[in-house]
């Protein structure tokens, strides 16, 4: 059996583009000295995305929950490299740490992870010296940042123009953006492409223990988002129709926490309200992208391109 590169969360935002990019990258670059299998892990092989990924030459799709992975399973499949984009629920640190322990014991050589916790403190300990790793720190994902704008355009296009005679008849355009602070939102697929390049490196030692910041190719402000909306509806969006720095989504999550089946910690949910403060302070511009990212596989998808994709995927692009 050939050595294996494991992609955890293959159907997720970043994992999907890792899965789509890695096989062709391995074939075209011939960077690795021997043939490597690529296993794409999913919790449901019957999902449309999983079935689509299974058709990619060089991909072996396996249905398994990654939190159940053991050292024995990793050894059985001869996993030598892995990509992981963990969930962000309260038990993330424990489950992600358990995977790293299993990877270390199984002799996995290199892990590329999306950094959402301080798990690299564990990986930096002397006991994990044999496991090379790289943390990717993406800026705010474009899909998340622009989803409310796409939804608002959708609502506008499905109403009669006469219903928009006054701002009171229109639900506010709720944006996470604040003021004129430039934010280089990044397409999740661009993050996956960069991860695939790291996984295909002949010798990842140069990236060991590195943390790379990934931003999109250009900055965008709140006014520019409104401009994009206006261009697509062919009308002005008045100031009173826009709610900036809007984190009402968090309140929706709290409602679900109190009345639904969401078992996430209330304090964890509330912490999301503070997650955007660095962006609002102008600390997430394109200038903060790590140089290695620009050298290897710089993000290319602009906010306008992502918005068009969101509209197309929602079948509201006309």
Q: What is the pLDDT of residues 55-99, one digit of tens each?
A: 999 999 999 999 999 999 999 999 999 999 987 666 777 899 999
- Which tens digit of pLDDT belongs to each residue from 171-221? 889 998 886 889 999 999 999 999 999 999 999 999 999 999 999 999 999
Res. 318: pLDDT tops 50: no
Q: Hey, what CATH topology would domain 4-138 get? A: Rossmann fold (3.40.50)
| Residues paired with residue 59 on neighbouring β-strands, in sequence order | 38
Lowest mean pLDDT among 8-22, 129-143, 250-264, 286-300: 250-264
Tell which CATH architecture fits domain 142-185+217-284+300-313: Alpha-Beta Complex (3.90)
Location of structure tokens 């008849």:
169
Considering only CA atoms, which of 194, 208, 59, 181 is closest in space to residue 124?
Answer: 208
At 231-252, the pLDDT tens digits run 999 989 987 889 988 887 666 6
Q: How many other CB atoms are found less than 10 A from the CB of residue 93?
A: 16
pTM of the model: 0.88
| Residue-range domain boundaries for the chain | 4-138, 142-185+217-284+300-313
Answer yes or no: same fold for 4-138 and 142-185+217-284+300-313.
no
Return the higher-pLDDT residue of 29 and 8: 8
**CA dihedral for 225, 135, 22, 9, sign (positive or negative):** negative
């Amino acid at each position: 059996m050939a050595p294996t590169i494991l992609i955890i969360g293959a159907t997720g935002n970043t994992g999907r583009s890792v899965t789509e990019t890695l096989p062709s990258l391995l074939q075209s670059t011939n960077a690795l000295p021997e043939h490597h299998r690529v296993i794409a892990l999913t919790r449901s092989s019957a999902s449309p995305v999983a079935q689509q990924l299974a058709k990619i030459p060089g991909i072996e799709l396996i249905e398994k929950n990654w939190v159940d992975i053991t050292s024995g399973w990793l050894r059985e499949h001869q996993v030598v490299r892995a990509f992981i984009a963990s969930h962000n629920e309260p038990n993330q640190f424990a489950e992600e740490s358990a995977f790293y322990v299993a990877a270390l014991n199984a002799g996995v050589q290199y892990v590329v992870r999306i950094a959402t916790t301080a798990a690299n403190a564990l990986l930096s300990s002397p006991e994990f010296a044999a496991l090379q790793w790289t943390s990717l720190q993406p800026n705010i994902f474009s899909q998340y940042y622009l989803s409310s704008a796409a939804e608002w355009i959708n609502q506008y296009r499905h109403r009669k123009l006469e219903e928009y005679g006054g701002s009171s008849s229109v639900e506010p355009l709720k944006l996470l953006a604040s003021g004129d602070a430039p934010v280089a939102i990044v397409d999740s697929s661009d993050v996956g492409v960069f991860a695939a390049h790291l996984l295909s490196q002949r010798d990842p030692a140069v990236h060991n223990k590195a943390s790379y910041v990934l931003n999109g190719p250009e900055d965008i402000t709140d006014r520019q988002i409104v401009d994009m909306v206006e261009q697509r509806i062919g009308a002005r969006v008045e100031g009173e129709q826009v709610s900036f720095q809007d984190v009402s989504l968090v309140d929706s999550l709290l409602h679900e926490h109190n009345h639904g089946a969401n078992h996430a910690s209330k304090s964890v949910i509330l912490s999301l309200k503070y997650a955007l403060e660095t962006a609002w302070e102008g600390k997430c511009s394109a200038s903060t992208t790590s140089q290695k990212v620009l050298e290897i596989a710089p993000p290319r998808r602009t906010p306008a391109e992502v918005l068009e994709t969101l509209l197309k995927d929602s079948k509201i692009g006309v």
